[in-house]
Structure 1
Amino acid sequence: MQEQIQRHIDMLVRTGMEDGVQVAVYQDGALIVDAVAGSADGRPVTSGTPIFSFSLAKNVTATLAQLLVARGFLDYDSPVTEVWPEFGVHGKSTATLRHVLTHTVGLPAMPREITPDQLPDWSRVCASLAAAEPRWPPGTAMGYHSYTFGYLVGELARRTTGRSMSELLHEWITAPLGIEGQLYFAAPEQALPELARLEQQARQWPADPDDDEAILAPWESRPSADFGNNGDILRADIPSVGIASARGLAAMFDAVLQGKLVDSARLTEFSAPAFEGADQVFGTPARMALGFPIGRMGAPAEENSVAFGWPGGGGSYAYADPARGIAFALTKTRLVPNFDTALSVTTILADGS
């Protein structure tokens, strides 16, 4: 499997389809694939090179949310207002952590007064979300919470633990698992030179249908290399997006599957279907567990996959599959409006295992 995937990503780089790619796969606790190819800004990509991978970081945020529950700070049905009273205005008083994790709380888009350059201002963003009117009553519909998800989980975490999401990531995941420097929400200044530089394949992403009526602002739905290379963004705690190496993220998911972060009962509970319906943002079917979409990307319907995990804008992808003991992550430096590379690699993995 290592040789097959290495040959494949080498070919993608050689033919100009990719610049820098990382793939890591654990199975039943063993690292069976650790493949890298290409470069970023003239430097070879290594297994440990951190890459800003947009919503791939939602896998980390959702995992931290499970740890908040496992360690007794919150319950899935804890009202948000129990620790964040000001959030309850405009009918949001019924919102719970379960609604936040299933993207059904009703705040898929940032309030329009929040622009990308204001994302590092945690207090301002959270105050705007608390004052916002939801698009639907919490729990009644699902819509992808592009940037709001990380702040909602993060503010609940901050109010219950007194720690930021970047601090919790270090204390609860990277330090205990020995993967420091491979997963970040807020990269320290000294780590910035080690990060891979992103490249945008196309300056303009394809327009969404009825673009003027889109729920998300363009910057919330279309990843930009300029955004992902911005030092202010890279240093900021924005836990809907973040920085990861494939090996670090796969190691985190493997630890989840192996019971090193949560026990088997908790894994069974949070990976089970929690909401099914149409995604109000994208108009596509959605099947949500508590924090993750269910199903391996590209898997045939008859596979009935129980895998869970988030992709990242620009083409990255990670998932955990309890049925097969697989933890998978792919990160890349070239942003494209598809997941062709991830799909091709996961197909090799599925066919070979």
Structure 2
Amino acid sequence: MPVSDIQQQVQQTVDRLVASDAERGVQVAVYHRGDLVVDVTSGVADPATGREVTPATVFYNYSIGKAATATIVHVLVERGLFGYDTPVAELWPEFAAHGKEGVTVRHVLNHTAGVPGLPGDTTVADVCDWDRVCAVVADEKPWWEPGTATGYHAYTFGYVLGEVARRATGKPVSQLLAEEVAVPLGVGGELYFGVPTAEQGRLAVLEDAPGSADMLAQLPDDLPMFKAGPKSLFPTAELGNRPDMLAADVPAGAKTSARAIARMYAALLGELPDVQLLTPEQLGEATAVSFAGPDQVFGNEATWGLGYALGLPERPGTVDSVFGMAGAGGSYAFGDKANGIAFALTKNRLTMDFAAFDEITSIVYGALAPGQRAA
């Protein structure tokens, strides 16, 4: 497929997904070697009012934002404020409790720190209270010897790295996101951790896919993933539409447009002429395999760089090239070093699969890397 046709084909695909009621509102943005070759929207951001999705619409797509948190850390490491092997407790002494003095920044980035959980009685109000959550995590006993196993740190990833960054700079993580990433990239109004109340009316309204709430309710309460956080904190539309969650700095996720997070990956790849977030050498270190093994929380096989998941789902040949993060509900954003692709898909219907992502990435690779199709 000629590159000139990719915008039209992606547009037709997302229009079909929305028309079939598989999706409600969708954004797709793709950079190729620094050029924005796809900037597509379809559907509605708010079904109650009929407000349409635009390229500037901000979506709360949960864990795709972990990549923004990791990127802040890499920028601060490159600046020399701390290193990957700096113990967290060197900057945050309280974190050393219960034998965690050896946990390093690297351990947190590759989810081997051993503190993946929040107590079962943790409330939404708790996770919106930065100091309260940090105190709980600092006092947590490690589930395993740090560095010896991996387990997805769904919430704690963001708080630990955000507190390390705050201790090193004196600035909250939301300010660092704006100053170090969003504003330099020209996306200051489209990439947030906490969204000011006055701006929340611009966000897409999330909805659960039919049947997903019932499926969640039927899951046993003793599953390992619920030991890492109660069901009330599981990423649902109800949780993601709460004004307090939208306003809070919860850097295990972010609120972003597709074009904003795709632009971040394009900058990480070094493909933008006006801004470079990392040197090629540091990007290589950040996206090399740092730890691989069975996830102690979810049971899947996991391969981590430093803050980024490596490879595309079910496509093992992409581990050396692709780094990114999925988000609950089927969103996804990544960079592909081999092909110069920066990709993002954001959407407001939270599905239990990545069907839209799979279909659209097949189109993108068919146009931009026909010898290396993603599917």
Q: TM-score range by the shorter chain?
A: over 0.9
Residue 170 (structure 2) pairs with residue 162 (structure 1): yes
Residue 193 (structure 2) pairs with residue 177 (structure 1): no
Mapping 1:8-47, distance limit 5 Å: 8-41=13-46, 42-47=50-55
Residue 81 (structure 2) pairs with residue 81 (structure 1): no
Q: For residue 212 of structure 1, what is the aligned residue in structure 2? A: 222
Q: Give the superposition deviation at 1:63.
A: 0.8
CA distance in 2: counterparts of 1:344 and 1:218, whole angstroms = 33
| TM-score (norm. length: structure 1) | 0.96
Unaligned runs of 5+ in 2: 1-5, 369-375
CA distance in 2: counterparts of 1:352 and 1:211, whole angstroms = 45
Q: For residue 8 of structure 2, what is the aligned residue in structure 1? A: 3
Q: 1:351 to 1:249 in 2, by over 3 A?
A: same
Q: Which amino acid aligns with 1:329?
A: A
Q: 1:166 to 1:181 in 2, by over 3 A?
A: same
Q: For residue 270 of structure 2, what is the aligned residue in structure 1? A: 258
Residue 356 (structure 2) pairs with residue 341 (structure 1): yes
Aligned partners of 1:23 and 1:36 also within 8 Å = yes
Mapping 1:192-211, distance limit 5 Å: 192-201=200-209, 202-206=212-216, 211=221
Q: For residue 248 of structure 1, what is the aligned residue in structure 2? A: 260
Q: Which amino acid aligns with 2:43?
A: G
Aligned partners of 2:321 and 2:337 also within 8 Å = yes
Q: Which amino acid aligns with 2:347?
A: K
Alignment RMSD (CA, Å): 1.6
Q: For residue 3 of structure 2, what is the aligned residue in structure 1? A: none
Q: For residue 101 of structure 2, what is the aligned residue in structure 1? A: 93
Aligned partners of 2:109 and 2:306 also within 8 Å = yes
CA distance in 1: counterparts of 2:365 and 2:124, whole angstroms = 38
Deviation sequence 1:30-73 (CA, Å, 0-9, x none): 00100110002221100110011111111111111111111111
Q: Which amino acid aligns with 1:237?
A: D
Q: For residue 323 of structure 1, what is the aligned residue in structure 2? A: 338
Pick from 118, 127, 140 the counterpart of residue 135 of structure 2.
127
Q: Give the superposition deviation at 1:210.
A: 5.7
Mapping 1:52-71, distance limit 5 Å: 52-71=60-79
Aligned partners of 1:205 and 1:222 also within 8 Å = no
Pick from 222, 235, 239 the counterpart of residue 234 of structure 2.
222
Q: 1:350 to 1:60 in 2, by over 3 A?
A: same
CA distance in 2: counterparts of 1:145 and 1:289, whole angstroms = 14
| TM-score (norm. length: structure 2) | 0.90
Aligned partners of 1:297 and 1:343 also within 8 Å = no
Q: 1:220 to 1:62 in 2, by over 3 A?
A: farther
Residue 328 (structure 2) pairs with residue 313 (structure 1): yes
Aligned partners of 1:116 and 1:219 also within 8 Å = no
Structure 1 range deviating more: 187-196 or 20-29: 187-196
Q: Which amino acid aligns with 2:44?
A: S
CA distance in 1: counterparts of 2:263 and 2:254, whole angstroms = 16
